[in-house]
Amino acid sequence: MAKLSDKDWNALKKKLSKDGRLDKFVLGDPEKEYVTSRGMDILRLHATDFVNKRIAPALPKNDGRQTPAKGHPVFIAQHATGCNDRDSLEQFFGIKKGKELSEAQVGKVVDVILRWIGEHLTD
């Protein structure tokens, strides 16, 4: 699976900036400590699990309300990057609703989430 390119990341950040998401969400000290104490490999496992359970199904339970906006660094990153529900995935990634996400799409979403977290650890 291809990793998220800098070009794709920058294009997504431009879309997200227009929506105001990038300025609205930040990692607080507890979330930063959580990430540094566990590491990005563990966070990748968490993000993959959350995406597979909450976002990847064709018709996710409680779509639009399934991802909390706080409580875990991945949740915050999902909102900041437009990976929090199927409407946002369609808006920012062009991934249509009503069809289960492929393994490659899940991987891309997880890469986006982790990229955002990585950039916000030093803020």
Q: Tens of pLDDT along 72-120? A: 999 999 999 999 999 999 999 999 999 999 999 999 999 999 999 999 9
Note the pTM of the prediction, 2 decimals. 0.93
Q: Tens of pLDDT along 36-74? A: 999 999 999 999 999 999 999 999 988 888 888 888 999
pLDDT of the residue at 122? 78
In the chain, where the domains are located: 6-120
Beta-carbon count within 10 A of 114 CB: 23
Kindly tell me if the per-residue pLDDT of 1 is higher than 60: no
Kindly tell me if the per-residue pLDDT of 2 is higher than 60: no
pLDDT of the residue at 123? 64
Confidence bin at 18 (pLDDT 50/70/90): very high
pLDDT of the residue at 94? 93
CA distance linking residue 86 with residue 99, whole number of Å: 10
Coil, helix or strand at residue 3: coil
Could you tell me the two tokens for 92? Answer: 């920012």
Say how far residue 14 (Cα) sits from the centre of its chain: 16
User: What separation, in Å, do the N-terminal and C-terminal C-alpha atoms of the chain show?
Assistant: 29
Residue type, 74: V
CB 62 within 8 A of CB 106: no
